[in-house]
Every structure is written in structure tokens, then in C-alpha cells.
Amino acid sequence: MPVTPDATDGARVLDLLMPLLYFYNQDELPLPRVEFMDGAAMPLPWRSLLVHTSDMTPTLRNHHRSVITLEVIQAEMSADYVMRQVVLHRESDNTPVEYGAIGIQLEGFPEKVKQLIREGHQPLGGILESEGIPHQSAPRAWFSIEADEHTSELLRVAPGTLLYGRCNALTHPGGIVFADIVEILPP
């Protein structure tokens, strides 16, 4: 069950936001203020797009009625781990539909899936779907965040725009987490 962390629970907040914090720290950017909330309190239409246990790629594809493409902003890889900062776009008009950061543990995947993930041409959710990889999506928290210069540029919104997102974990059927994701949607 997702838990809304209290502002004093610094370790929990760091754990939830880890992929995003990693790239903000790499770029020496201060993280905008994040306000965690109960999923039921999230306003529509973000609630229908974020408060569920489905992958974001098919959710966004169905909502936008468009193939979703991946733009990798930054990536770091080792033999068994991929960290990347990404923007997902509607293929139909190249409009950004999500900004995110993800850490992916490659162990346990077939070599073809590992290669597809490393190449960074498709969103992870699309790869898992097309390759028939059994997994579960387990949102851990929901939040609002004001667009800073970085996110406003990537999502093409004005600085200060209120954005909504979620911290999600993807697990193998046995419950072992293989991806930690921070997903932020534009208005």
C-alpha cells in the first residue's frame, strides 16, 4: 500500500525520489519542492493517469491515442543497471506527455530485453509489453511539484506550473523490484 511520507521522513523521501534526485544532483540543480499527497486527493485528469497499477506507457498511449516515443536526456549504464532521465512524447505531434527518471536493474531479463533497454529507443513499458515480460506496477507515492527551469523546458510549460507525478516500482512476479521510477506529467 502506498504511504504518503511525512516531510520529516527524509530517508523515505530520498528513497522515493532516488532516480530524480540522482540526475538533479548530477546537474547540480536544486530539486523543486515536492508535496506528497494521497492518491485519492489528486485532481482529475491526473488522478486517472497516475493513480492506478498499470504501466505509464500504455496508459499514456491510450489517453493520448498516439504511439508514445522516448527521448533520453541523460543515461548512465553498467553491465546490469541503467539510469536514465527521459521525456516521453506523443508520436503524432512530438508533444511531451511525461518527464521521468528511472533506475532499471537488468538482472533477470533475457538478453534481447536487456539490449532493447540499453539502446534507449523505446519506453520501458513498451518493451515489457511487446516482449511479454510478466511484471507488476506498484505505485509507492503521489505528489505535486512546481516546474523549475529544467522541467519547464523539457515539458514545454511555464516555470512555476503545478505538475503532478508518482513514484512507482516495477517488480518481477516474485515481488523483486527491478525498476524505480519517478513520473511527472504536464498539464
Report if residue 35 sits inside a domain.
yes
For residue 17, the model assigns a pLDDT of 94
Report if residue 48 sits inside a domain.
yes
Closest C-alpha to 60, from 187, 179, 185: 185
Report if residue 5 sits inside a domain.
no
For residue 6, the model assigns a pLDDT of 54
Report if residue 4 sits inside a domain.
no
Give the Cα separation of 127 and 129 in Å (integer): 5
Report if residue 49 sits inside a domain.
yes
Give the Cα separation of 10 and 58 in Å (integer): 32
Closest C-alpha to 125, from 57, 52, 171: 57
Residues of the chain short of pLDDT 70, as ranges, are 1-8
CATH code for the domain of 135: 3.40.1410.10
pLDDT, tens digit, 9 for 90 and up, residues 19-70: 999 999 999 999 998 999 999 999 999 999 999 988 888 889 888 999 999 9
Report if residue 56 sits inside a domain.
yes
For residue 93, the model assigns a pLDDT of 94
Report if residue 133 sits inside a domain.
yes
Count how many domains the chain has.
1
User: Which pTM was predicted?
Assistant: 0.91
Q: What's the domain range around 62?
A: 10-185
Contact 33, 17 (CB under 8 A): no
Report if residue 3 sits inside a domain.
no
For residue 4, the model assigns a pLDDT of 56
In sequence order, the 6+-apart residues with CB closer than 8 A to the CB of 68 are 57, 60, 61, 88, 89, 90, 91, 97, 123, 126
